[in-house]
Amino acid sequence: MSRTALIVEDEIFVALDLERILMDAGYTVVAIAADRDSALQAAAAADFAFIDVNLRDGPTGPEIAERIAADYGIKVVYVTANPTQISDPKGALGFIRKPFSEAAILAAAALTAQAAMAGRQHTGQLNEIRAA
């Protein structure tokens, strides 16, 4: 199973919490990126990404997601407090609502890693990923 993740999040405590959850579950986090350039530099080494929808500076999460999905085939899950701000999925498989639970993150990681292995693309519809 694909187990390398990229985290694109400008709130450091949120990013570190995501990293801890993923690493404790055996995933490798290739980078925590707070902006577009850092995300694009690290994207080639990742199988999937958790991307915040609203980044403080520069392009939005969906713009970054669209680029890394197109350029590297990376599967994306959005992390957001307000999913109504996502007008177009732009390659994302789903979203996790902030504040998130560890179980929801692990469910999303498993789904995204499986999609990366299977080469599945987004369906054009964005669904919330929740713990089973």
Query: Tell me: the pLDDT tens digits for 72-123?
Result: 988 899 999 888 887 776 678 889 999 999 999 999 998 887 776 676 554 4
Q: Tens of pLDDT along 30-49?
A: 999 999 999 999 999 999 99
pTM: 0.87
**What integer is the mean pLDDT of 52-68?**
87
**Every domain of the chain and the residues it spans:** 4-118
Q: How far apart are CA 51 and CA 60, in angstroms?
A: 9
pLDDT of residue 131: 64
Q: How far apart are CA 106 and CA 112, in angstroms?
A: 10
Question: Can you list the positions of beta strands (E) in 3-124?
Answer: 4-8, 28-33, 48-52, 75-80, 92-97
Q: How far apart are CA 89 and CA 15, in angstroms?
A: 21
At residue 16, does pLDDT exceed 80?
yes
Question: In this structure, which CATH number among 3.40.50.2300, 2.40.50.140, 3.30.365.10, 3.30.70.20 belongs to the domain 4-118?
Answer: 3.40.50.2300
Note the Cα 70 to chain centre separation in Å: 14
